Homo-oligomer: A and B are copies of this chain.
């Protein structure tokens, strides 16, 4: 490129996977990652700085669109209050993460072609 100012750009890619309502993206994916690590939905919200009503709205909207539960929460017993990913949620998250990772890797190559430093 001739002009010095047209340099050092970067790109960002917000990727949603959905049926009708683009609700599943980085937000729900991050909540799910944190639930996988901590087994606590409240802990996931705390780390992300989300109120539980805001956080649950994010999850609920994604679940409504996808058509299956992303998380399950145990009520009562030893593990009362613990959350974990549903089987479908686990499968979906793994696919989403793999898709995002591969697309971003490919994106870096394509970006350099069009915006060389």
Contacts and interface: CB of A to CB of B under 8 A. Distances in A.
B22 A18 contact: no
**For the complex, would chain A's binding face be called helix, strand, loop or mixed by DSSP majority?**
mixed
Q: How large is the interface on A (under 10, 10 to 19, 20 to 34, 35 or more residues)?
A: 35 or more
Q: How many copies does the complex hold?
A: 2
A99 B15 contact: no
A99 to B, nearest CB: 4
A48 interface: no
A79 interface: no
Interface stretch (A33-41, A50-58, A107-115): A107-115
Contacts of A5: 66-68, 88
Contacts of A9: 17-19
